[in-house]
Amino acid sequence: MTAGNDMQGTPPPKKVRVGRLDTLAGVRAELGRVYRESRRGEMHPNIGTKLAFILQALQKSIELEVIEQRLKALEERAGK
C-alpha cells in the first residue's frame, strides 16, 4: 500500500484543473469536460454522473441569480 492511498491497487486520483464555475460558460465547459472524460473511460460513470448533477445545480443557481437581477432592475424602472 502506498502512502496516502488506502485502496489496494488504485492509483491516486489525477489532479484536474477546474475552470471558474461562476458563469454559465464556465459550468458548460466543465460539463463538457466531465462528459468527454466519462465517454473516453477516463472517469468512472458514477463519478461523472455525480459531478454532472452538481454542475447542473450550479447552472440553475447562476440562471436564477441572473433572473433575480433582471427582475430587480425591471422593478426599479417601474418605480416599485
How many domains does the structure of the chain reveal? 1
The answer on pLDDT for 1 being more than 50 is: no
The answer on pLDDT for 7 being more than 70 is: no
Per-residue pLDDT of 25-52, as tens digits, reads 999 999 999 999 999 999 999 999 999 9
Q: What is the gyration radius of the CA atoms in the chain, in angstroms?
A: 19
In a domain, 32, yes or no: yes
In a domain, 6, yes or no: no
Mean confidence (pLDDT) of the chain: 88
In a domain, 44, yes or no: yes
Burial of residue 34, with CB atoms counted within 10 A of its CB: 0-12 exposed, 13-18 middle, 19 or more buried: buried
In a domain, 16, yes or no: no
CB-based contacts of 21: which residues, under 8 Å, 6+ apart? 27, 30, 55, 58
Q: What is the pLDDT of residue 80?
A: 64
**Would you say 52 and 28 are in contact if contact means Cβ atoms under 8 Å apart?**
no
| Domain hosting residue 56, numbered range | 24-78
Q: Which is more confident, 6 or 20?
A: 20
**Would you say 24 and 59 are in contact if contact means Cβ atoms under 8 Å apart?**
yes
